[in-house]
Amino acid sequence: MTVSETSTASAGPARTAPAPIEGRSSGHAGRWRRRAELTLLIGPAALLFIGFVIVPMVVAVHYSVYRWSGFGPLTDKVGLHNYSYALHDPDFRASVLHNAIIVALSLLLQLPLSIALALLLNRRMHGRAALRLIVFAPYVMSEAITAVIWLLMLQPHGFVDQVLDVVGLGGWTHQWLADQHVVLYTIFVVATWKYIGFGIILLLAGLQGIAHELHEAAALDGASAWQVTRWITLPLLGPTIRIWIFLSVIGSLQLFDLVWIMTLGGPANASDTMSVYMIDHGFRRYEFGYGSAVAVILFLICFAFALVYQRFALRRDTEGAMTRAVG
């Protein structure tokens, strides 16, 4: 809130809001009128935003220093105990690790796969429009319904197992949701099913923005298809990829619906994510003070990631709005 008028300049040259009319309604009346208009325009949004985005986080910080079951007065002030408990709790650490694994798998598997598929599909093909529709459909479905569907399909001797049998991969069947060593990867696969279409569409849109002439020029210069891809296409796809990474990481950090419906974080917390941990402690154990502390930690993790990522990766691509939000 300390940024002053000067920052208008940073909003981008030649796109700055038109100022010439300022003088039109001159005098005190005009200034008051303008102020009233601005209040009327921005006030409702600001109130709503403060009331339901900012205040809850402030409230969380307040509750987080108490041991509190969720009702009655706040009497048991424990300072930073909740925070240190969370940071030392092996279950919480495990849930952070699980989120990190999902993020890493997304970057190492989902992203290359999306790029490869987008490159393959970026050509004139029969049924391309239909394909675009199909791969995108899971993305618009709710995660809860996705979870219910996959929960049914992943039952022992269920649909997935039988499909594997049919295609001769019967040996691959697992206790998809009951084996602690498998369950997290099962959830990752379901998440990939749901979200990969989004990545492909995004990347295809990015590819379409790359001028075709560039490719042709490179080909004339004797570059192989691989070289064109490596040295021209991928770098130009950079902004799209960086946006994908941002959305994917924020999405992975908030993973909840799939886990909650399919496994409740089990067995033995093997699929616990940070959000599941928070809800479990808050709403099942009535540790609302502690749950608030966990919420604050989650918020800080998201915030730190967004900030760092904006600073170092996204800076070139966006208007820098988010960076300035805190910078």
Partner 1 sequence: MRRNRRWAAVAGLVASLSLVAACGSNGDDGSGGGSGSQNAGGAVTLTWWHNATADPGKSEWQKIADSYHAQHHNVSFTVDPIQNEQFNSKVPAALESSNPPDLFQQWGGGAEATQVQSGKLMDMTSQVSSWVNQLGPSAKGWQVDGKWYGIPYDYHIVGFWYRKDLFQQAGISSPPKTMSELDSDVSKLKAAGISPIAIGSKDRWPDAFYWEYFVLRECPQATIASSIAKQDFSDACFTKAGTDMSSFLKTNPFQSGFLGTPAQQGAGSSAGLVANGKAAMELQGDWEMAVMPSLATDKNFAQKMGWFPFPSVPGGSGDQGAGLGGGDGFSCTSQATSACPDFLKYITSTPVQKQLIKSLAVTLPSNPGANSAISIPTLKVVLKYLGGVSYNQLYFDQALPTNSGQALDSAVADYFAGKGSPSSIAASVAQGAGP
Partner 2 sequence: MSSTGAASPNWRRPLTTALAYAAAISIAAVTLVPLLFVFIGGFRTTPQINASPTGLPHPWVLDNYRAIVTSSLFWRFIVNSAVIAFLATAITVVFGAMAAFGLSRYAFRGREAIYAFFTIGLLFPLSVASLPLYLWLRDLGLLESRFGVILPEAAFSLSITIVILRPFMRDIPGELEDAALVDGSTRLGFFWRILLPLSLPAISTVAILAFVTSWNFFLLPLLVFNNQDHFTLPLGVAAFQTQYSQDTARVLAFSALSVLPTLVFFLAAERRIVGALGGAVKG
Residues 44 to 103 in contact with partner 2, rule: CB under 8 A: 44-46, 48-49, 51-57, 59-60, 63, 70
User: 3-state SS of 192-229?
Assistant: HHHHHHHHHHHHHHHHHCCCHHHHHHHHHCCCCHHHHH
CB under 8 A: which stretch of 35-43, 72-80, 85-93, 263-271 binds partner 2? 35-43
21 binds, among partner 1, partner 2, none (CB under 5 to 8 A by kind): partner 2
Of positions 27, 90, 226, 316, contacts partner 2 by CB under 8 A: 226
* Binding of partner 1 by 177 (CB under 8 A): yes
Integer CA distances (angstroms), 267 to 227, 285, 295, 318, in order: 47, 18, 23, 41
Question: Residue 5 or residue 88: which is nearer to partner 2 going by CB?
Answer: 5
Q: Convert 35-66 to b/e letters by CB count within 10 Å (16 or more is b).
A: eeeeeeeeeeeeeeeeeeeeeeeeebeebbbb
Which residues inside 189-208 make contact with partner 2, applying CB under 8 A?
193, 196-198, 200-202, 205
Question: Residue 66 or residue 246: which is nearer to partner 1 going by CB?
Answer: 66
80 binds, among partner 1, partner 2, none (CB under 5 to 8 A by kind): none
Count of residues near partner 2 by CB under 8 A = 126
Which residues inside 234-253 make contact with partner 2, applying CB under 8 A?
239, 243-244, 247, 250-251, 253
Q: Which of 98, 164, 142 is nearest to 258 (CA)?
A: 142
**What residues form DSSP beta bridges with 76?**
67
Which residues inside 10-39 make contact with partner 1, applying CB under 8 A?
none
* Binding of partner 1 by 266 (CB under 8 A): yes
* Binding of partner 1 by 317 (CB under 8 A): no
Of positions 89, 153, 201, 223, contacts partner 1 by CB under 8 A: 89
What CA–CA distance (Å, rounded) separates 226 from 15? 39
Question: Residue 17 or residue 26: which is nearer to partner 2 going by CB?
Answer: 17
153 binds, among partner 1, partner 2, none (CB under 5 to 8 A by kind): partner 2
| Smallest separation (angstroms) from partner 2 to the CB of 213 | 16
- Name the 3-class secondary structure at 135: helix
* Binding of partner 1 by 86 (CB under 8 A): yes
* Binding of partner 1 by 297 (CB under 8 A): no
Which residues inside 155-174 make contact with partner 1, applying CB under 8 A?
155-156
Q: Convert 86-100 to b/e letters by CB count within 10 Å (16 or more is b).
A: beeeeebebbbebbe
What CA–CA distance (Å, rounded) separates 258 from 247? 17
> For the chain, how many residues are written?
327
Sequence-separated (6 or more) residues with CB below 8 Å from residue 316: 239
* Binding of partner 2 by 302 (CB under 8 A): yes
* Binding of partner 1 by 175 (CB under 8 A): yes
What CA–CA distance (Å, rounded) separates 19 from 230? 45
The phi, psi pair for 66, rounded to 5°, reads -120, 155
210 binds, among partner 2, partner 1, none (CB under 5 to 8 A by kind): none
- Rounded to 5°, the CA angle 238-241-242 comes to 85
Binding site for partner 1 (CB under 8 A): 67, 69-72, 81-82, 85-86, 89, 155-156, 175-180, 183, 260-261, 263-264, 266-270, 279, 281, 283-290, 293
